[in-house]
Structure 1
Amino acid sequence: MGRRNAREATMKLLYQLELNKTFDDEIVSIFFENNNFTEDEKVYIENTIENIQDNLSLIDEKIEKYIKGWKKERLSKIDLSILRISIFEIIFREDIPTEVSINESIEISKKYSSDESSKFINGVLGSFVRKENE
């Protein structure tokens, strides 16, 4: 596997946590028990989930600011999970280039969501990066 697979797994786990409306350690443990990951993938997933949980208010505030005409509650849970991962990476992971985070989010949305979603995610992330860098 690799980083893309780790991002996809993180998206699936965030999706599951969002459906259950909780960031429960037991759900995370069960997820790891039922999937095989390399040590690097597991570290990425755990770090990303933990940091998104710790910074959820800030991340969601950024998402809500740039989803013009939408409410966070109306977004698909998959798209919300993808946006959370990308916004987290852009803000907190200096070792991951912004362009990589955006591109990976678009590719994951094409695989798990719709063409409209990938365009929407690209627009939200593009606006976020442009406005936050001003």
Structure 2
Amino acid sequence: MTQHDMRRIALQTLYLANQSQDPDVEEICIQAQKALDIKKYPEFSKSLVEGVLKHKADLDNQLSKFIKEGWRIDRLNQIDRAILELSLYEIQNSSVIEPVSAVNEALNLCDEFSSPKSKAFVNGILGNFIKKN
């Protein structure tokens, strides 16, 4: 299984988690494993999900600063929100992937799960974090 595949699993798990009030990492990973029909939930995916959920409030706060005035993070399309949270977490915390590569991964996830308009939006938001660092 490639790292892209494991990010895809993490993204789908975060999407499920965003549907819950206070998701438990273990439980949400089990739900995703069943929903995605995978034999074993990847540790890399679990570490991403765990990190995003642990830092969710901070990630959403940071992302909110770059969203159009008058919009709130909770008004975003749920899959785009999950892509942004996952990618920003990786940009700030990963020793496995470079920030520019994390943005490219986010854009690949947009190609699979979102729209061209969302892809440009995600690129613009994440690009702001790359410029800051």
TM-score, with normalisation over the residues of structure 1? 0.88
**Unpaired runs of 5+ in structure 2?**
none
Q: Distance in 2 between matches of 1:9 and 1:111?
A: 12
**Matches for 1:87-126 after TM superposition, within 5 Å:** 87-126=88-127
Q: Cα 1:114–1:68, aligned 2, differ >3 Å: closer, same or farther?
A: same
Q: Could you tell me which amino acid in structure 2 is paired with residue 36 of structure 1?
A: I
Q: Distance in 1 between matches of 2:96 and 2:32?
A: 26
Secondary structure of residue in 2 paired with 1:19: coil
How many pairs does the alignment contain? 130
Secondary structure of residue in 2 paired with 1:67: coil
1:77-121 residue CA offsets vs partner (Å, 9 max, x unmatched): 000000011000010002211111000101111211100000000
Q: Distance in 2 between matches of 1:111 and 1:21?
A: 26
2:131 is matched with which residue? Answer: 130
Superposition CA RMSD, Å? 1.7
Q: Distance in 2 between matches of 1:114 and 1:97?
A: 24
Residue 20 of structure 1 deviates from its aligned partner by: 2.3
Q: Cα 1:31–1:49, aligned 2, differ >3 Å: closer, same or farther?
A: same
Pair 1:3-2:3 in alignment: yes
Secondary structure of residue in 2 paired with 1:20: coil
2:66 is matched with which residue? Answer: 66
Residue 129 of structure 1 deviates from its aligned partner by: 1.6
Q: Could you tell me which amino acid in structure 1 is paired with residue 88 of structure 2?
A: I
Higher alpha-carbon deviation: 121-130 or 53-62 = 53-62
CA contact (8 A) 2:16 2:32 kept: no
Q: Distance in 1 between matches of 2:66 and 2:39?
A: 33
Q: Cα 1:37–1:83, aligned 2, differ >3 Å: closer, same or farther?
A: farther
% identical equivalent positions = 28
Pair 1:19-2:19 in alignment: yes
CA contact (8 A) 1:6 1:45 kept: yes
**Unpaired runs of 5+ in structure 1?**
none
2:77 is matched with which residue? Answer: 76
Q: Distance in 2 between matches of 1:20 and 1:28?
A: 13
Residue 22 of structure 1 deviates from its aligned partner by: 2.8
Secondary structure of residue in 1 paired with 2:18: helix
Q: Could you tell me which amino acid in structure 2 is paired with residue 119 of structure 1?
A: A
